[in-house]
Amino acid sequence: MQKVTKFLSQDNFKLIALFITIAIAVLSLIKPSESSGLSLFKFENADKIQHLIAYFFLTLSWLFAIKSSTKKIKVIITIIVLCVLYGTIIEVLQGIATSYRTADYRDIIANSVGITLAVIIFRLFYYKK
């Protein structure tokens, strides 16, 4: 049990959060291939679910990475704003820096839903007394 607790230390959460942040950028900007298998769901607009899940874990990982500061509402709001801004920048980059991806405002909405759910769940379970 001590090994699990030690692994889930704040420093490791920072590494996990950084890894997720970089992975989202890479996966969002690389050219998708038909055989890549990156699509988890096979229905119209399935990528919105993937956006929701990705930004849920992005936000949750950053909340845990700096959980000692998350009792301050300013810190949580900063994480929310930065995650939304990050997703928006990636969407803009998809539209202007790639010829094989398109920007979609619905992706930003899906990102925002994932971010909101992460904050709600974090606050419900982490601050549960």
Instruction: Quick: pLDDT tens for 103-123.
Output: 999 999 999 999 999 999 999
pLDDT of residue 6: 56
pLDDT of residue 126: 81
Which tokens sit at 63? 């909340």
pLDDT of residue 46: 79
- Mean pLDDT by groups of 10 residues along the chain of 129 residues: 58 92 95 62 78 97 86 90 98 93 94 98 82
**Average model confidence (pLDDT) across the chain:** 86
Q: pTM of the full predicted structure?
A: 0.83
Long-range contacts from 25-32, C-beta under 8 angstroms, 24+ separation: 25/90, 27/54, 28/90, 28/93, 28/94, 28/101, 29/90, 29/93, 29/94, 29/97, 29/98, 29/101, 31/98, 31/100, 31/101, 32/100, 32/101
